[in-house]
């Protein structure tokens, strides 16, 4: 099968969404499919004021070099396109729009470019307005979603039912090791976007500092360190996936303070490493986390008390070794079932399911 992914750009930095696209591209290629990733070259260096002919040359070079943070299978073709049109897009059996900005261009292509899909990894109202996002779900595309709550949103507007393929993790990297965990240790991923709850995370840490003088917090991020970082935090910048797994294996608790996520991959990755998850109960977390079983979840109903309630749940795990070990062990078992190999088979089956349309 010839499969084309269309990406809006080729991101310089690690991101959960692009990472899943690359993971599936590798897996589909390994399974014998011809996989191409087309990047909208007109989005690269567009703000630099470079003359168009030179910018096209530089954009192609950039795409050839990227991604430098992910090992993309050499069999996967990378193609720069400057117009999402029949003239520039390769013929294929399947073409997949990978975000809301690529959905409409894909919908306009002829049938020779393949059966048309949209891979929905988040409710992308940070890119387009709510109504414009919902409008993309009405386009004549089949939809593959990563969580149940996204499935419900998409199906409320789509003319055909979406196909749920829950996000996997690299279980060869994110796994339990025998590294000792530091007492009263916590890890969280920092993003400055308000929807990720950075202020909540910082306030939670400050509350814990008052109760645990030996508190040890590791902050993992792709962004520069903020000025208001709590004193107990050690900031880790641009870690590799194996380094993130090592941090998870040295920490007792993983904190997620997000208000909303399309899925929430870091929480599942932490669970795979035996790091007990304490999270807000944002919609998609329920796809892998069950309160009191493999995680402790805090309702988002009262935002003003959220830091205190998160700190209290983390304190429960710090103070109750038996509870922490129960949550940790159940989390490891949950994550072990979420391998890339299993998910890629489901993803490929979803692409074949479109043959009936």
Condensed to tens digits (0 to 9), the pLDDT of residues 145-166 reads 999 999 999 999 999 999 999 9
Condensed to tens digits (0 to 9), the pLDDT of residues 53-69 reads 888 888 889 889 889 88
Condensed to tens digits (0 to 9), the pLDDT of residues 102-127 reads 999 999 999 999 999 999 999 999 89
Higher pLDDT, 44 or 166: 166
* Domain parsing of the chain, residue ranges: 2-168+339-356, 185-336
DSSP count for the chain of H helices, then E strands = 11, 13
C-alpha to C-alpha distance for 176 and 334, rounded to whole angstroms: 12
Answer yes or no: same fold for 2-168+339-356 and 185-336.
yes
Mean pLDDT, rounded, for 37-46: 82
The helix/strand/coil state of 205 is helix
Judged against a pLDDT cut of 90, whether residue 278 lies above it is answered with yes
**Confidence at 12, pLDDT banded by 50, 70, 90:** confident
Average pLDDT value for the chain: 94
Which pLDDT score is estimated for 69?
86
Residues 6+ apart with CB under 8 A from 237: 221, 222, 224, 225
The 10 Å Cβ neighbour count of residue 142 is 22
C-alpha to C-alpha distance for 150 and 119, rounded to whole angstroms: 11
185-336 folds as: Rossmann fold (3.40.50)
Paired strand residues for 291 = 295
Tokens standing for residue 198: 């950075």
- Residue range 2-168+339-356 forms a domain whose CATH class is alpha beta
Q: Are 327 and 294 in contact (CB under 8 A)?
A: yes
Which pLDDT score is estimated for 55?
80
The helix/strand/coil state of 188 is strand
Condensed to tens digits (0 to 9), the pLDDT of residues 235-273 reads 999 898 999 999 999 999 999 999 999 999 999 999 999
Mean pLDDT, rounded, for 179-206: 96
In the DSSP assignment, the letter for residue 233 is E
Mean pLDDT, rounded, for 315-338: 97
Which pLDDT score is estimated for 48?
67
Which pLDDT score is estimated for 357?
46
The percentage of residues in the chain with a pLDDT greater than 90, rounded to a whole number, is 85
Q: Is 316 exposed, middle or buried (0-12, 13-18, 19+ CB in 10 A)?
A: middle
Tokens standing for residue 66: 């990227």
Higher pLDDT, 233 or 42: 233
Residues 6+ apart with CB under 8 A from 346: 165
Q: Are 282 and 262 in contact (CB under 8 A)?
A: no
């Amino acid at each position: 099968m010839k499969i084309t992914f269309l990406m809006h750009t080729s991101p310089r930095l690690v991101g959960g969404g692009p990472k899943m696209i690359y993971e599936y591209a590798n897996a589909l290629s390994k399974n014998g499919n011809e996989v191409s990733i087309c990047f909208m070259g007109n989005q690269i260096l567009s703000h630099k004021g470079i003359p168009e002919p030179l910018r096209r040359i530089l954009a192609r070079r950039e795409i050839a070099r990227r991604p430098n943070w992910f090992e993309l299978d050499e069999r996967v073709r990378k193609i720069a396109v400057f117009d999402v049109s029949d003239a520039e897009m390769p013929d294929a059996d399947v073409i997949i729009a990978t975000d809301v900005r690529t959905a409409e261009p894909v919908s306009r292509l002829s049938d020779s470019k393949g059966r048309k899909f949209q891979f929905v990894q988040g409710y992308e109202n940070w890119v387009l307005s709510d109504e414009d996002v919902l409008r993309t779900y009405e386009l004549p595309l089949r939809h593959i979603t990563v969580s149940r709550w996204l499935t419900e949103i998409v199906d409320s507007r789509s003319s055909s039912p979406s196909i749920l393929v829950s996000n996997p993790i690299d279980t060869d990297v994110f796994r339990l090791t025998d590294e000792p965990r530091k007492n009263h240790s916590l890890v969280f991923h920092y993003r400055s976007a308000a929807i990720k709850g950075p202020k909540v995370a910082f306030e939670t840490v400050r509350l814990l500092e008052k109760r645990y003088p030996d508190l040890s917090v590791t902050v993992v991020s792709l962004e520069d360190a903020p000025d208001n970082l709590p004193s107990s935090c050690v900031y880790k910048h641009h870690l590799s996936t194996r380094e993130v797994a090592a941090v998870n294996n040295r920490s007792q608790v993983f904190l997620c303070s997000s208000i909303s996520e399309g899925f929430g991959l870091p929480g599942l990755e932490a669970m795979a490493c035996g790091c007990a998850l304490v999270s807000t109960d944002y919609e998609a977390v329920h796809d892998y986390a069950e309160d009191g079983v493999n995680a402790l979840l805090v309702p988002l109903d009262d935002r003003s008390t959220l830091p205190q309630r998160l700190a209290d749940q983390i304190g429960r795990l710090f103070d109750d070794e038996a509870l922490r070990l129960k949550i940790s062990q159940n989390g490891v078992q949950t994550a072990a079932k979420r391998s890339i190999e299993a998910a890629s088979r489901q993803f490929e089956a979803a692409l074949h399911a479109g043959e009936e349309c």
